[in-house]
A and B are shown apart, each in its own frame.
Chain A
């Protein structure tokens, strides 16, 4: 009964597909569309571009837009200056310490940028380590961290690994014979790089640059920490939090955000050292190094206010598990089914890469704050579940990509031969497919875990109450006061340790291909 069989199979696949589509539409597409529609409608609900016109009429917003674009471009530019040579050396040369270089280069991803911002303040800020020394020796200081310069500096140090990792993967994917052929034809050196290597590595470089650009203009924590509010993300945040979620200007800004969406390593590691010192210091202000050391900060975060660490583990592990389940199901449907709507599913699942966290959060607030979630007795936005959902959806592209790549390696004939020997579809999946893609699943889950641990853009808008906040939120709260900075740094160290552990495990599983885990 081949017909009945194939019909039943299609029905199951179709049902899964429909369920996934509903889920993704509800939690990704609809919130974003709501943000868009609010920004495009007037009080009577009719289409209007008035809000956008108003946006562009206000000098403050025009400046914020310009600053965002300009800082994004600067971050990409300086990030490329750091990333491309590093990528070239690590992809093309064998040398002692290559692994060390690659690991160090991924470390900046490990620390949340806004934590780095605080640390860099202590080292490069107006009364930071370097400027205090400069003042002492030369009676002269450099305003590294003032205004936009500071934002660009912090973001460059933080995001350049995206460019480096993507470029390095792209470089190592170039077949050596492509370059050897050109050498054989008489081409070498810089000319070889310009004519062959550069064009071939461009896709990876562009992907990394784009990701960096989006991340930089989406980054809310850094400008807030450095108290530089004249950018789009902080403007959207301030409008929504101070004026309320009905303020349409905030939505307009969100839409604008969507639309424009050695020394080097030593420099990039400065924030880590700063955070480490700060976490053991009682007071560190107007001095080159902390004056008194203490363990109080750790007592604070582990015993007096342990909920930040606990929440982070709960939320991120849940989100990572959901991501693995969803990612595996989506990847399976994309690669193994012929169903209508696969491309749509793929598109929506990839969308979060281009959607700033702020925008998704605003959309959630708009969509879910009105109605009580069944069983919770309160709107979804008043429970911690909304954070899990936000993390799951924001990191879904990573697990889909990881699962897709893993499943692509499994030739259909491996599954078919199992079925030919009498295994049902389900048995085949459990006994053949799952073991073969397990590495990809775990790696994808780890990436979701790592990146969720330090998520702030959506977190800061969605946390219903302080005691429901995760580590990133805790750091933000603590860092508001000079006295809380030590505890904030201690939380930062915990975040770094968690993320380092995840990164280490990812490297163990992915091996040399660890870089590809962070690819778009």
Chain B
């Protein structure tokens, strides 16, 4: 099944509910075949934006372009963008076959072709043989895949997914994530995915727009979003973080030395931090927990940054251990890969946290 893939452009989109701006002046360009994710907490406007693209909402300001044509006043049933709802929206009064055939019947496809395409779509989602059943007789994961088949069978020019995996249990969610990824890459269909789950967003997307209270705060590929967050919100929302604020005390030799509010001295390489111009400047920076290595109090290391502290909590996660360490009244998270066979640090142990200057990401000068 070869898909048509649309190019979607949002220009200056704003949408208001009463006095509240759900979406404020958003401009985005989603290219053909992309897997683009709107990531943000509930109420950030991501679903509003998706529903604007589907045509269920008309923006108060701005224009939606599908393949270059403005579609603000094209009704949902003429947009030809397939949507999968969070609760699947399978019609309980129809069988699985009738559900999947619905869009094809609306398109006046000949009866024989409908049958072929429905069966093929069910086959594609591994649900051959369920066509005579009612949606209520299927499990959550099966319903999810029927909803996907129902949308894909009409070969829409874009696929809009509104938190499609949020109603599944953790294990099934991980499985469906991989299936969805393969399906989308095989079909090459332009896909917009709405989620509040940063892991899903990082795993699936070619690009991500992180949203907060109606605005896009950062837009970029998964690595860029995770490794170079430009806003405090992004650093905190995507992955775990140790955020510090402080003042640059010394700059030069490709290094910047920062003194945090707690009095910790930390060095960062100035190559990656063009936003810091010189000493005396206030900065906000982030160290990811997995960048930190833990050493016993006396152990030596070649890494430049070293902070000593005391373990206040340790949680064994199997593949890694999650530590919480207190230093100068500040608690710092460190995730350490399971050092198989070796003893783990215990609550109360004196330790040293070491990390490279490159792992210190300055967010704002």
A residues contacting B by CB (< 8 A) are 175, 177-178, 180-188, 195-196, 199-200
Contacts and interface: CB of A to CB of B under 8 A. Distances in A.
Contacts of B89: 175, 177-178, 180-181
Interface string B148-189: 001100100000000000000000000000000000000000
A186 B106 contact: yes
Interface string B258-275: 000000000000000000
B107 A186 contact: yes
Interface string B57-82: 00000000000000000011111111
A199 B106 CA distance: 17
Nearest to A178: B89
A196 B80 CA distance: 19
A430 to B, nearest CB: 37
B56 to A, nearest CB: 6
B56 A180 contact: yes
22 contacts: A175-B89, A177-B86, A177-B87, A178-B89, A180-B54, A181-B83, A182-B91, A182-B102, A183-B76, A183-B77, A184-B77, A184-B81, A184-B83, A184-B151, A185-B82, A185-B102, A185-B106, A185-B150, A186-B154, A188-B77, A196-B91, A200-B93
B194 to A, nearest CB: 14
Interface string B92-126: 11000000001100110000000000000000000
A184 B54 contact: yes
Given A186-B107, A188-B75, A180 B85 contact: yes
B345 to A, nearest CB: 37
Residue among B56, B150, B154 having the largest count of chain A Cβ atoms under 10 Å: B56
B94 to A, nearest CB: 8
B102 A200 contact: no
B77 A177 contact: no
Nearest to A195: B102
A120 to B, nearest CB: 39
Residue among A182, A186, A195, A199 having the largest count of chain B Cβ atoms under 10 Å: A186
B103 A186 contact: yes
B77 A200 contact: no
Contacts of B83: 180-181, 184
A187 B86 CA distance: 20
Residue among A175, A181, A183, A184 having the largest count of chain B Cβ atoms under 10 Å: A184
Contacts of B102: 182, 185, 187, 195
B148 to A, nearest CB: 12
Interface residues of B, number: 26
Given A177-B85, A180-B56, A180-B85, A185 B91 contact: no
Nearest to B93: A199
Contact of A186 (B77, B91, B92): B77
Contacts of B150: 185
Residue among B81, B92, B106 having the largest count of chain A Cβ atoms under 10 Å: B106
B93 A184 contact: no
A200 B154 CA distance: 24
Q: Which 9 A-B pairs have the closest CB atoms?
A: A185-B103, A177-B89, A186-B106, A181-B89, A183-B76, A199-B93, A177-B85, A188-B77, A186-B77
Given A180-B76, A185-B77, 8 more contacts: A177-B87, A180-B83, A182-B102, A184-B79, A184-B82, A187-B102, A200-B91, A200-B92
Contacts of A196: 91
Interface in B174-226: none
B49 to A, nearest CB: 15
Nearest to A198: B93
A178 B91 contact: yes
Interface string B121-152: 00000000000000000000000000000110
Given A186-B107, A187-B102, A196-B91, A181 B78 contact: no
Nearest to B156: A184
A185 B102 CA distance: 7
A200 B89 CA distance: 12
Contacts of B77: 183-188
A175 B83 CA distance: 15
B113 to A, nearest CB: 16
Contacts of B92: 200
B10 to A, nearest CB: 18
Contacts of A183: 55-56, 75-77
A238 B191 CA distance: 73
A415 B80 CA distance: 50
Contacts of A199: 91, 93
A277 B154 CA distance: 63
Nearest to B108: A186
Contacts of A181: 83, 85, 89, 91
Residue among B54, B76, B80, B82 having the largest count of chain A Cβ atoms under 10 Å: B76
A196 B76 CA distance: 16
Residue among A175, A180, A196 having the largest count of chain B Cβ atoms under 10 Å: A180
Contacts of B91: 178, 181-182, 196, 199-200
A170 to B, nearest CB: 13
A178 B147 CA distance: 12
A199 B81 CA distance: 25
Contacts of B56: 180, 183
Contacts of A186: 77-78, 80, 103, 106-107, 154
A184 B87 contact: no
A161 B244 CA distance: 64
A182 B87 CA distance: 14
A199 B94 CA distance: 10
Residue among B86, B87, B103 having the largest count of chain A Cβ atoms under 10 Å: B103
Nearest to B107: A186
A188 B79 CA distance: 12
A103 B91 CA distance: 32
A179 to B, nearest CB: 9
Contacts of B107: 186
A188 to B, nearest CB: 4
B276 to A, nearest CB: 48
Contacts of B93: 199-200
A186 B108 CA distance: 11
B230 to A, nearest CB: 35
Nearest to A180: B56
Nearest to A181: B89
Contacts of B78: 186
A187 B106 CA distance: 6
A80 B92 CA distance: 24
Contacts of B86: 177
Contacts of A187: 77, 102, 106
A490 to B, nearest CB: 48
Contacts of B80: 186
